Chains A and B, each alone.
Chain A
Amino acid sequence: MVQPWTADFSITLWVVLMGFFVTAACGLVGNYLLLRRMALVGDAISHSILPGLVLAFIIFKTAATWVAFVGALAAGMLTVLIIEFIHRQSRVKPDAAICIAFTTLFALGVVLMSMLEGTGSFHIDADCVLYGEIAFVPLEPPAVWHGHSLGPPSALRMAIVLAAVILTIAVFYKELLVTSFDPGLAKSLGMRTGIWHYGLMGALALVIVSAFESVGAILAVAMLIVPPMFAAQLSERLPLRLVLTVFHAAASALIGLHLSVWLNCSAAGAMVVAAALLFVVVWIGSQVQRMMHFRRKLPDPRTEEVRVVGAST
């Protein structure tokens, strides 16, 4: 159990830290996606940025992160535009439009990747796309600053992204809150809801592309959805949920690492399993609590009055 830490402390540490950074950043952004009922858009975009990454690589001939980010952002925006286009210009409903857009783009990405595979110049192969290889992170040559070795560059980048996400949420808390809760009110107060919507999409693209590089699409998508659901089971206050998301991220990363060592499997996959297990645990807890609640038969304020649904226009 302790072996990974004693055997190779720094590798283990960086794997856990990277997992934590990715999960926390995705989870925080994911809270807002969940509140806006856009969970599956997040899933869609994380698939559809693949051709963006590949094309950016082809055009700029480098796999540098900023190039990847530009490609991902462009692909993300393109996805949203395609979805809107299909939905507005035809009778196809939004759910089908989302599915069509991201699968087509993803297929395009895979085909483009196959074109490059032969030439051996693109360092990401199909497996990496899906679940990355987080174990490679600590093996990267560490970034150096003023003579101090800081750690693997992708982990540092992810830490910066996480910090940026936390800062944005803290500063623009009320704008994000009201545009997610009641866009009608927000507009009537004079806010530009469109900006916040696309801003969130941009943050999503940023978070995913930073995560994608090293941990692949799976971890990213799962961590958009599972930590917020975990937090939602435990709290009905948004600030507390955000904090809980971060704790969940840390726990998943840690437990996931040990799981992957024990099972000898992909670390990213193991972290997702850990995250899901944590959710299941709190879910069971809430069900048990409910049953005990019924036993005691406390009055429910909601049953005192009739709720009428479906007012007229």
Chain B
Amino acid sequence: MKFPGIVIVTIVAGIALLAPEIAVAARINELSDSTFLDRTVRFFTFRDPSLRNALMGSMLLGICCGLMGAFLVVRKLSLLGDALSHAVLPGVALGFLWNMSKDPVAIFVGATLVGLLGAATVQLLRATTRHKEDAALGFVLASFFGVGICMFTMIQNLPGGNKSGLDKFMFGQAAALGRSDVILLAIVTALALCAVMVFYKEYAITSFDAGFARSLGMPVQIFHYSLMLLLAFAIVSSLQAVGVVLVSAMLVIPAAAAFLLTDRLGKMLILSAVFGMVSGGTGAFFSFVGRNLPTGPFMVLAAAAVFAVSLFFGPRHGIFSRWWRLRSRSARISRENTLKAIYHVLEDEEFETDQVSGRELAERRRETLEEAENELNTLRRHHYVTLSSDGGSASLTPEGWQRACEIVRNHRLWELYLTNAAHIAADHVHEDAEKIEHILGEETVRMLEKRLNYARRDPHGRLIPGLEDIQFAAGRHTVPSRATGFGSATN
């Protein structure tokens, strides 16, 4: 099965994702005066004030981006987040030019304005040209970013423009977060949290079905634009720590991880914020421990690790979980097929005996004796049969009878339904019934029986065990009567 392969790949990928971080941190520390352990301790005891800022800021931005990102993911706007985060670069440069210094307010205002300009440009392009969504987003992304790079390099070449300050905006440096930056982040996060909590149901419905919301009289556009504004705030305030190129990752990856773990928007928002916070913190940790390496990539890799775990091991939708369920289902189907075969063997002998030998089973199922005996053993473990003293033959327990009858009934009912109601040729229905027999629920069976007027015979003329037959059989310990196949069932 290719599954073990996938598991191995996950483990390798997980190690691969985290190993570089650890390696870098460890190696770089050989060159420094403090050891890895030292710095880890320093990290967790929060002695450094700059460290406190960095950590605080990183976790706040994780929450903020996680919240906004959740809406991006459910509205299928992930690439808008990407475009906007690249497009704000000229705004950052403008903000810097305002005072020739890294003034957080100026940068915030400049970046937000340019970001909104970018969003407006996308709309304008869509409205006035035949270009598609991806082209418009791509254009804004690339051209605004190009303008930004122009301005950055211009500033670097000016007297007074220093390279390192602006470089941090590319890949992020949480250590460069000052107190005012953290306060800004706190405000933005609080704003986002408030907005989402107060207007939760409005945001939810406009994300899910905007047309319907509009028909209810809701001002859908206002909610959309407010979300875009909050998104712009989140992006701009996170720029310093994560970097322009990778902000969209912090928006989308924690949210996607949350998306795979729950079916409810509310839970998704909470999980997304938590994952964002954890990724942010982890990124700050590795960056600090590694003596101020860029934070952005580490945050993203941490988030990606969380996503990978969610993708593979998420309880409901995880790849591994699905595989596991499939496996148990296959096992169940295999057991049921054996039960069915036992029933058929007994039916052929018109229920004269209730013992089925391994050899008969093997013949019926066209397999080896060993395989048949294994199957009987499996059934015994599940208490569907009891084995004779020499292990060569088996008889059904009440539960075994019940399940066997149910399966056979399902199969025959379904064949009858397909031939009568759906007019499918009699020779086509068998394979289909082989699949369907295992999944018909009791309610569906009641409906089928009613639809087919409680027919007693399938298209091939064999008896369809009815409800009383099964209940009766379940209570039986001895062989059913020959005439009808069952005890007191009426014809």
Complex-state Cα separation, A136 to B243, whole angstroms = 26
Is A243 in contact with chain B by the CB < 8 A criterion?
A: no
Q: A90-B319, A115-B20, A115-B27 given as contacts; is B151 within 8 A of A229 (CB)?
A: no
Q: Which of B17, B82, B146 contacts A99 (CB 8 A)?
A: B82
Q: A99-B81, A273-B147 given as contacts; is B297 within 8 A of A91 (CB)?
A: no
Contact B139–A279 (Cβ < 8 Å): yes
Residues 1-60 of B at the A interface (beta carbon under 8 Å): 16-17, 20-21, 23-24, 27-28, 31
Stretch at the interface among B125-133, B348-356, B409-417, B450-458: B125-133
Is A143 in contact with chain B by the CB < 8 A criterion?
A: no
Q: Which of A96, A218, A263 contacts B252 (CB 8 A)?
A: A96
Residues 77-124 of A at the B interface (beta carbon under 8 Å): 86, 89-93, 95-96, 98-100, 103-104, 106-108, 110-112, 114-115, 118
Contact B260–A106 (Cβ < 8 Å): no
Contact A130–B317 (Cβ < 8 Å): no
> Smallest Cβ distance from A182 to chain B, in angstroms?
16
> Smallest Cβ distance from A98 to chain B, in angstroms?
7
> Smallest Cβ distance from B321 to chain A, in angstroms?
11
Contact A100–B27 (Cβ < 8 Å): no
> Smallest Cβ distance from A47 to chain B, in angstroms?
7
Closest A residue to B310 by beta carbon equals: A90
Bits for B145-183, please: 1 = Cβ < 8 Å to A, else 0.
Answer: 111111111100100000000010011000000000000
Question: Interface size class for chain B?
Answer: 35 or more
Stretch at the interface among A35-43, A67-75, A206-214, A292-300: A35-43
Is A221 in contact with chain B by the CB < 8 A criterion?
A: yes
Residues 255-276 of A at the B interface (beta carbon under 8 Å): 259-260, 263-266, 268-273, 275-276
Closest B residue to A119 by beta carbon equals: B27
Which of B128, B135, B259 is the most central at the interface, judged by chain A CB atoms within 10 Å of its CB? B135
Q: Which of A263, A273, A283 contacts B129 (CB 8 A)?
A: A283
Closest A residue to B124 by beta carbon equals: A283
Is B304 in contact with chain A by the CB < 8 A criterion?
A: yes
Give the dominant DSSP class at A's interface: helix
Complex-state Cα separation, A268 to B142, whole angstroms = 12
B139: chain A residues at CB < 8 Å are 225-226, 229, 276, 279
Closest A residue to B245 by beta carbon equals: A106
Complex-state Cα separation, A286 to B248, whole angstroms = 33
Q: Which residues on B are within 8 Å of A, measured CB to CB?
A: 16-17, 20-21, 23-24, 27-28, 31, 72-73, 76-79, 81-82, 128-132, 134-135, 137-139, 141-143, 145-154, 157, 167, 170-171, 245-246, 248-249, 252-253, 255-256, 259-260, 293-294, 296-298, 300-301, 304, 307, 311, 317, 319
A-B contact pairs, 5 of them (CB 8 A): A34-B132, A96-B78, A100-B256, A126-B167, A127-B167
Considering the complex of A and B, which 8 residue pairs feature the smallest CB-CB distances, nearest first? A272-B146, A103-B249, A222-B142, A276-B143, A269-B149, A269-B150, A107-B300, A107-B297
